[in-house]
Amino acid sequence: MKVIVDDNFWEVFPDAQISILSVKGLNNQVDESQEPYFQDLLHQASKKALAFLPDESFSQNEVIQEWREAFGKFKTKKGARSSIEALLKRVSQGREFRPINPLVDLYNSISLAYALPCGGEDVASIQGDLHLGKAKGGESFFPLGAEEDAPALPEEIIYYDEAGAVCRNLNWREAQRTMLTENTKDAILVIEAVNPRQKVRAQEAMEALNQLIHDYFDVTGQVTHLTHQQPSVTI
């Protein structure tokens, strides 16, 4: 299986970096005895996230402006925002994060601590290769809890496979079909960066995420930073 960033993505974001972490042989079952660990991990990450919100006006913070500018460069569903904006909004409102499942909790903690969009997919649920690029339009998409198809728009930037859209608007919202669950054994985790400052943070963030996964699951993943010069990886 390959992860491929299409040429039309680099046309929009030539300086971007899509960091990929492939991990295999996981036991992602929820262990209630570990809930205090994950609760504290998310709490500490939320405190670190405050460093990225120095301006009282939420929309004026640099990280928010960077991602809104990025989302202005391609066709999006009305109201779509980067996943990191949604997390930081909760931090700004003083809202606590509750554990979901180990993999999701680990990447959410990294997303918060480094103020970068993170996501993850179940490898077993992906059909063919996983691509990131512009949608043709009409790619099938069922987000969590949806009963009706919400297909991608033409020119929208999506993650997709042979069966349809996996994530819409970069990492804004993901399909229930490929989401990480307690039954996930093999996973692809992604951290997105669209400018040089974010790229440096993303490399540090991916190292930290790989270490967290190693410490919790006793599994070491394969890290690749995809760029215009290296747009694909086989996992």
Predicted confidence at residue 186, as pLDDT, reads 98
2-28 pLDDT, tens digit per residue, is: 999 999 999 999 999 999 999 999 999
Is 90 exceeded by the pLDDT of residue 145?
A: no
Q: Are strands 173-174 and 187-193 parallel, antiparallel or unpaired?
A: unpaired
Q: Return the pLDDT at 146.
A: 87
- List CB contacts of 227: < 8 A, sequence separation 6 or more: 16, 17, 18
Determine the average pLDDT of the residues in 95-116.
Answer: 98
Q: What is the largest CA-CA distance in the chain?
A: 47
**How many residues does this entry show for the chain?**
235
pLDDT, position 118: 98
Domains of the chain: 2-234 (3.50.40.10)
**Whole-Å CA distances, 166 to 87, 97, 130, 195:** 20, 24, 8, 24
Determine the pLDDT at residue 111.
98
Average pLDDT over every residue of 91-120: 97
Q: What is the pLDDT of residue 144?
A: 84
pTM metric for this prediction: 0.97
- Report pLDDT for 147: 87
The whole-number average pLDDT for the span 152-163 is: 98
Q: Is the separation of the CB atoms in 201 and 193 below 8 Å?
A: yes
Sheet containing 222-226: order of strands: 118-122, 187-193, 17-23, 222-226
Helices (H), 181-229: 196-217
